[in-house]
Amino acid sequence: MVIFFNIYMREKLEKLRASAVVEIQKIKDLKKLDDLELNYFGRKEGKLNLMLKGLKELGQEEKKVIGSVANELKSEIQILIDNKRADLRSIEINEKLSTEWLDVTLPTGFEEKRGHLHPNTIIERELEQIFKSLGFMVADGPELESDYYNFEALNIPPDHPARDMQDTFYIDNKAGKEKLVMRTHTSNVQVRAMQKYGVPIRLIVPGRVFRYEATDASHDIAFRQLEGLMVGENISIANLIAVMKVALKGIFQKEVRVRLRPGYFPFVEPGFEMDMGCLICNGVGCSVCKQVGWLEILGCGLIHPNVLKAGGVDPKKYSGFAFGVGLTRLVMMRYGIEDIRYLNSGDLRFLKQF
């Protein structure tokens, strides 16, 4: 009886092996293979376990024999399943490789155009860096400005002849009574800055300014300036000259020839104009320097007591210098641009060169 059962079990196991081999061979996808694995080895419903339940009836010895046959069978089928799984996986990968390929050497079809900084911005940032290293803060001011901050607070009353020095865009103020202008210089921030930050103060303000005038190679209706302000105790022209020399050397990476001439600006006393040797013609004379070899790059001076007062600063205790650099002129000198009008043109043939 036992022997028969033994033979019967062996036969059954053998059949199981045969059917597993055939089924595994037929399988074409991983999901079905998982199902098959469960079907054979699942703990509750797996064919092998169901079959082995019959072993309970057997004695110790037989259990051992049949048990080891069953285990061998199990590991044999398991190996078949594992191999099949590896085959199916590599087929899957190969299929992906052959259908979803990407030729990384192909050109993208359109050239990627990258933007870059405008020459104005490059010089502006460099100057900001230099002045920051000297302890100056960088501030901002409005381009549409009241007549007060652009002129009156700077010691230029309404009928002052100095108003003719700068041709102004006056703006209709539909919203209020205040007279408005497009700022003619960044000096509009002088009084604003003193009011806002008090003294001592060291600050620069780069920005756009506007003049109503005929354009030519060295004049445009909109250009850029950089205002500088240093107010404290015992600030003198010597401090101004030292600061300007550091700034110019930083921008041009060499000693630049400069000369100081007396200049008149109502908001400074004494006032000066600083020229630098024209770097486009090296002083020989060209359209940019109007054939004189020198180019006016900044106005400067010691801040007028009336302006300090307007800023809420006591002129008896404090003094300071102010300067306004023609940023646009510096850009032209640095890159050898012979016509200011290129800078606002938006012409890519020009801009691409930087």
Which residues of the shown chain bind ligand PHE in the complex (CB under 6 A)? 185, 187, 265, 268, 271, 299-301, 322-324
CB of 109 to ligand PHE, least distance (A): 50
CB of 165 to ligand PHE, least distance (A): 8
CB of 188 to ligand PHE, least distance (A): 9
Nearer to ligand PHE, 77 or 308 (CB): 308
CB of 211 to ligand PHE, least distance (A): 9
216 backbone dihedrals φ, ψ, rounded to 5°: -150, -165
CB of 293 to ligand PHE, least distance (A): 21
Give the number of other Cβ atoms within 10 Å of residue 325's Cβ.
Answer: 25
Nearer to ligand PHE, 24 or 311 (CB): 311
Q: Cβ contacts of residue 165 below 8 Å, gap of 6+?
A: none
CB of 110 to ligand PHE, least distance (A): 45
Question: What is the DSSP secondary structure assignment for residue 304, as one 8-state letter?
Answer: P
Give the number of other Cβ atoms within 10 Å of residue 8's Cβ.
Answer: 11
CB of 315 to ligand PHE, least distance (A): 16
CB of 221 to ligand PHE, least distance (A): 14
Question: What is the DSSP secondary structure assignment for residue 151, as one 8-state letter?
Answer: T
The size of the chain, in residues, is 354
Q: In which element (H, E) is residue 296 found?
A: strand 294-303
CA distance 36 to 43: 13
Contact indicator for 230, 247 with CB cutoff of 8 Å: no
Nearer to ligand PHE, 268 or 310 (CB): 268
Nearer to ligand PHE, 84 or 186 (CB): 186
Nearer to ligand PHE, 81 or 209 (CB): 209
Nearer to ligand PHE, 240 or 288 (CB): 240
Q: Which two tokens stand for residue 274?
A: 């600083």
DSSP output for 105-147: TS--SSPPPPP---HHHHHHHHHHHHHHHTT-EE----SEEEH
Beta bridge partners of 303: 268
Beta strands in 194-293 (DSSP E): 201-210, 222-232, 258-262, 268-277
Q: Which two tokens stand for residue 149?
A: 């901050």
Nearer to ligand PHE, 33 or 307 (CB): 307
Q: Cβ contacts of residue 140 below 8 Å, gap of 6+?
A: 189, 205, 207
CB of 114 to ligand PHE, least distance (A): 35
CA distance 346 to 354: 13
Nearer to ligand PHE, 37 or 227 (CB): 227
Nearer to ligand PHE, 180 or 268 (CB): 268
DSSP output for 153-216: GGT--TT-GGGGGS---EE--SS-SS-EEE-SSGGGHHHHHHHHH-SSEEEEEEEEEE--S--B
CA distance 18 to 77: 10
